[in-house]
Structure 1
Amino acid sequence: MIVEMKKLSLITLTADVENTLGLLRTLGVMHLDIKRGNSESLSALTDARALAQRALLILPDKGTGSPANAAGWEEDPSSLIRRILEIQNTVRDLYDELERLQREKSRLSAWGDFSPQDIVKLREKGIDIRLYILTKEQFESLDSSVQAFTIQKGKTAVYVVVVGEALAGAAETSLPSAGISEVRTQIDKVQTQIGDLSTEFNSLAAQKHVVQGKIDSIDTEMEFEQAKLSMDADSGISHIDGYVPEPQVRRIKSAASSNGWALMVRDPEDDDPVPTLVKNPKPVGIIAPIFKMLGTIPGYAEYDISFWFLVFFALFFAMIIGDGGYGAIFLGVSVTAIITLKAKGKKVGRELALLTFLSCCTIVWGAITGTWLGSPAIAEAMPFRLLIIPAISSFNPRSSQSIKYICFIIGTIQILLAHIWNFIAELRKKPRIKAFAQIGWMAIVYGIYFLVLNLVLDPDAYPLPPFALWLILGGLGLVVIFSEQQGKFFIGIGRGFASLFTTLLDGIGAFADIISYIRLFAVGLATIEIAKAFNQMAADMGNSIVGLVGAIFVLIVGHGLNIAMGALSVIVHGVRLNMLEFSGHLGMEWTGIQYAPFSEGTELQKDTTS
């Protein structure tokens, strides 16, 4: 359920703001109405967090060896972050230098190994030695009086050393600062530096937790600073607004009484940004990881569909995976993981509880449809054959119609449930007469159900009953009359007629929504047929040793691929039917704000759903 929230306005002395916020953070129950603001402290914290985040991102996932100053880094994470970034910048500069030296080495290779300092000394003694890179035409046109020594001849250029005066019409090559031997030495030195820094950098990866801890610490400081900026001050008095779960209000009142705060508690207004806190019993709470994965939070004024989502999602999962053998594999994985975690004294997460439940549902569906790794031999063996319901057996050619029929029944029930829920909710609001529009939608959906059976399945087996059209038309009339009621009956009817076109489109949408549940049959059938195909491929490989090895390989890869595709289909189709079709008829927009109480340390990241 969605926990009832109260809006609080807390007033305290401006001089006591930090102490007040510290006490609120210790209580850890008030979701603050944070206002955007800026300060030097917040800017400094933002910059520090950006540097820490950058350091965390550039560190490798796994370190090699142990850093020399592990204990010191724990005590001074800021120095660790600076060192990580310093190494990155230094290594980048060293790679630039290495690239320059490699180019210089390539340039000098044609001249051979010599010392530029020797040439400088000769020049100081009056012996002019000059380096030239000449074209073949320039080289061949040299005067015989020129003392030129050929170092290397290339396809397009000739490298020469000239003793004496400069050559007319030729550009002299500048003397390098170092010879090729010295350049090689410099390259080795730079490569050694890069290696040493890379080793240190990799060893620092073992300190990623220290960097993450620093980020968490900065986040805590930033939240505190933002809370300070959110407190409006006037004449020595400061106040801040927030939201507290109704069961926790007494704790805030007690703290206010003890610390001299003024407190105003009231129900939130419709346009207030009220956070959503979802709390459910443990059996229902196992569905929370799905909502967390999707990043969906119901609005405070919306519904908590956790229970019905779990019920239908389990059914969809079972029908889409469709194979009891696959369910047994999932169950084996989840049970093994649970046993391993318990043996290590670790907490078993809701994810494993959910997987265990879904696995059991899949095994049940596989048992009643006789689907075990797509093998008819297993289905016909005892005791599996006793569990099969023939009308929906995977190996019964006539079962397709029955499964489709079940899909449409499931879709109709789920959509009807949405409108029944809406009807009950509308009865609690004013004007209550508006709730009758939901009865109209129930009639429309029920009438469309018969229309779908007639059009999609078999018009002979499912003839359209006369009352189906009356249900659709009568329901449409109720929607037109009551859906826009806001207190003035006839004006509401007029608005209903004005929205008739939209209502007709919604009716067509309801028709499409019921039909969309056939995806449960289609995807489940694909899973079964793919399993059968891989089984047949394995069977056709013969009884030789090579054939058996090949068959085992095909079965492992084939069924593994089928399981992966089935899991993906669950996300695409199983989640969609709940999040779009069902939620759409409930009118949910999933625009909720996660309840995030102002609290200490890692409490800021704690899961407050279910």
Structure 2
Amino acid sequence: MAIVAMKYVLFLSHVRESEAVLRGLQDIGVLHPEHLKRATESEQLKNLEHKLHVQNTVIKSLSDRNVKNHISDSAILPSIWDVESWLSDEKKFIDGIAKVEREIEKQACLGDFDPEDVGNLSGSGVSLQLWGAPKKEFEEYAKKSEVHIHVISRHDDVCFATFSLKGPVKIPFAVEREVPKSSLSALKEELSDLRRRLESISAQIDSATVHLPSYRKKNAALTEERDFYETLGRAFEDESVSAFAGWVPADNIEHVAEMVHKSFPGVFMKARDPMEDESPPIKTKNSWLASVFEPLLHILGFPKYGGIDPALFFAPSMMLFFGICLSDAGYGAIMILIGAVAKKLLSAKIPAIRFVSNMTILLGLTTVVWGLATGSIFGIPFAQREWILVDVAPDVGDPMLLFKISIVAGVLHISIALMISIISSNNFSERMIKAGTLFVLWGGALAMIKYSIWPYIAGAGILLILTFSSDAKNPLKRLGAGIWGVYGLTGLLGDVMSYARLFGLGVASGAIASVINVLAVDVRGAVPVVGILLSIIVLLLGHSFNFAMGVMGALVHPARLHAVEAFPKCVQLSGAPYKPLEKI
């Protein structure tokens, strides 16, 4: 539960040594680069940025194709530029096919004829026009028309051509069609050719997907090179002197100094503590349990430097809330199985999967414990319920018991957040205000259970808030700020009631599982033979859907309770992550 102390380090070197120094620091992998001055980007950095952009685009496009078990025709790795060109050609062919198909659809009713023949007729003084008109109006027009009419097709409308030696004619009820520039047969031939070329280029691109691991490896190396030259580009250069700086964990300062002084004796290095107006990057050092939940916590944000790391507070409460929300031992067992299998099969290939697997297993364990405590195992309605510790089933138990547990959990959760704030704050008045809020919270909680001491506890809290809400010497200003602070306590009830969502999700998960079981039994009894198969399908699909939605809700809503109700009372998530310059 600790934020690692950082040192701001400045390096001064000869320009010719700056690249070598950065390479050495990159090998150590502890310097978080900091801008000294925005230098003009080098041509090399621009080229690296462009190439990295192209590689990222190509890798994403290949990954999105979802080609399975494709065997490449060649063991040679196509260049990233070749694949980019293929992808560009594929898009052109797709757009071209769509355009030709629209033209064929538009021209279908006009039939197949050579546009050159139209030109020959025009040269002979014959005006040819193409039309589309409703059948009824066309029949009446055809009977009395003085121009020659040729019917091309009859569908909902009539497509016809008119031939006139007196120039273009006007037909008010008809829509004149543009004379096509290509014949229908030529368009179909063009479409066939485009499809053949698309098939060929798509096959080439699909064959390149087998090289995705190689492209990703190249991308990692290119990213490493880009990061290096980007950091080098930040260097402040004045004639022959180069300066660059960054943040280094305090524990690594000696190691960095030893490397610099041994390998680059001419380089000046100066380390200092952060200034008040500076915001060093955040690196945390936590226990195993807290570190497992850090990736999820960091989605919400990073704590401010000099503040408190809420990871150890976040981990157990997240586990508890998740178990209450999912609330089914069967679903928890599935999570444990998924986490264990993923850890066994994938952790060697994808190191990051180890954290996700461990988190899945821990969340599954709390779900199993809570599911057994509430007697919920895949929604099965047990006849003998004496073994159930907390029976909250809607029909035979007391669902309101879960509501009370959720509210108590909310009071405890907010109380811990307030106590963390009291301990970590350096401002005495702020501590007293937080203590007053805590007293009011518990005064209200004790009032709900009709404990006679509650007015004294709540009154003491209100008095603290009235007294310490302002440092102004004017008593009226202090009183006004105090009254405003007391008014702000009205939101405390809403904060506590937000935890009722734990009750809602917990009851819903078990109720839906039970309904799925009842539906499966009804289906099995309705159809003699096929009913068993249908019943199995209902169980699999129903529980899969309920499991997926339950896990999603059990992650999102507890995370929201931390982000909205608890963290604002004890921690500022305004920090930036520690990203050292390192080899990948």
TM-score range, shorter chain: 0.7 to 0.9
Q: Is the 8 A contact 2:6 2:247 kept in 1?
A: yes
| Larger displacement relative to structure 2 (554-563 or 101-110) | 101-110
TM-score by length of 2: 0.81
Per-residue deviation at 1:597?
A: 0.2
Using the aligned pairs only, state the percent identity. 21
Other structure's SS at 1:264 match:
strand
Q: Which residue number in structure 2 is paired with residue 440 of structure 1?
A: 436
Q: Which residue number in structure 1 is paired with residue 334 of structure 2?
A: 329
Q: Is the 8 A contact 1:3 1:245 kept in 2?
A: yes
CA distance 1:432–1:537, change in 2 (3 Å) = same
CA distance 1:188–1:138, change in 2 (3 Å) = farther
- Which of residues 532, 538, 541 is equivalent to 1:554? 538
Q: Which residue number in structure 2 is paired with residue 463 of structure 1?
A: 450
CA distance 1:106–1:483, change in 2 (3 Å) = same
Per-residue deviation at 1:404?
A: 3.3
Q: Which residue number in structure 1 is paired with residue 576 of structure 2?
A: 593
d(CA) in 1 for partners of 2:73, 2:530: 54
Gap runs ≥5 in structure 2: 132-140, 170-176
Q: Is the 8 A contact 2:3 2:283 kept in 1?
A: yes
Per-residue deviation at 1:189?
A: 3.3
- Which of residues 273, 279, 283 is equivalent to 1:273? 279
Instruction: Report Cα offsets for 1:456-489 as digits up to 9, x if no partner.
Output: xxxxxx3252x3223223212223434555xxxx
| Larger displacement relative to structure 2 (589-598 or 174-183) | 174-183
Other structure's SS at 2:111 match:
helix
Instruction: Report Cα offsets for 1:176-225 as digits up to 9, x if no partner.
Output: 98766666544443432233223223323333444444544443333223
Q: Does residue 1:224 correspond to 2:228, yes or no?
A: yes
Q: Which residue number in structure 2 is paired with residue 531 of structure 1?
A: 513
Q: Which residue number in structure 1 is paired with residue 255 of structure 2?
A: 251
Query: How many aligned residue pairs are there?
Result: 556
Q: Which residue number in structure 2 is paired with residue 206 of structure 1?
A: 210
Other structure's SS at 2:252 match:
helix
CA distance 1:216–1:541, change in 2 (3 Å) = closer
CA distance 1:248–1:379, change in 2 (3 Å) = farther
d(CA) in 1 for partners of 2:145, 2:179: 24
- Which of residues 47, 51, 66 is equivalent to 1:48? 51
d(CA) in 1 for partners of 2:575, 2:191: 59
| Larger displacement relative to structure 2 (537-546 or 403-412) | 537-546
Instruction: Report Cα offsets for 1:42-99 as digits up to 9, x if no partner.
Output: 43333333333333344442347455554242xx43x334433442365257537745
TM-score by length of 1: 0.78
Q: Is the 8 A contact 2:97 2:191 kept in 1?
A: no
Q: Is the 8 A contact 1:373 1:531 kept in 2?
A: yes
Per-residue deviation at 1:504?
A: 2.2
- Which of residues 335, 358, 376 is equivalent to 2:381? 376
Q: Is the 8 A contact 1:9 1:241 kept in 2?
A: yes
d(CA) in 1 for partners of 2:179, 2:437: 91
Other structure's SS at 2:9 match:
strand
Q: Which residue number in structure 1 is paired with residue 90 of structure 2?
A: 88
Per-residue deviation at 1:100?
A: 8.8
1:157-556 to structure 2, matched below 5 A, reads 157-158=160-161, 167-170=165-168, 184-258=188-262, 259=264, 260-292=266-298, 294-341=299-346, 349-377=354-382, 380=385, 385-386=386-387, 388-389=388-389, 392=391, 394=393, 399-426=398-425, 429=426, 432=428, 434-451=430-447, 453=448, 462-463=449-450, 465=452, 467-482=453-468, 484=470, 491=473, 496-541=478-523, 543=525, 544-556=528-540
Per-residue deviation at 1:594?
A: 0.7
CA distance 1:106–1:261, change in 2 (3 Å) = same
CA distance 1:153–1:267, change in 2 (3 Å) = closer
Per-residue deviation at 1:304?
A: 1.4
Q: Is the 8 A contact 2:12 2:268 kept in 1?
A: yes
d(CA) in 2 for partners of 1:541, 1:137: 64
What is the root-mean-square deviation in Å for CA atoms of aligned residues? 4.0
Instruction: Report Cα offsets for 1:339-371 as digits up to 9, x if no partner.
Output: 444899988612111221222222222222222
CA distance 1:21–1:583, change in 2 (3 Å) = same
d(CA) in 2 for partners of 1:196, 1:49: 27
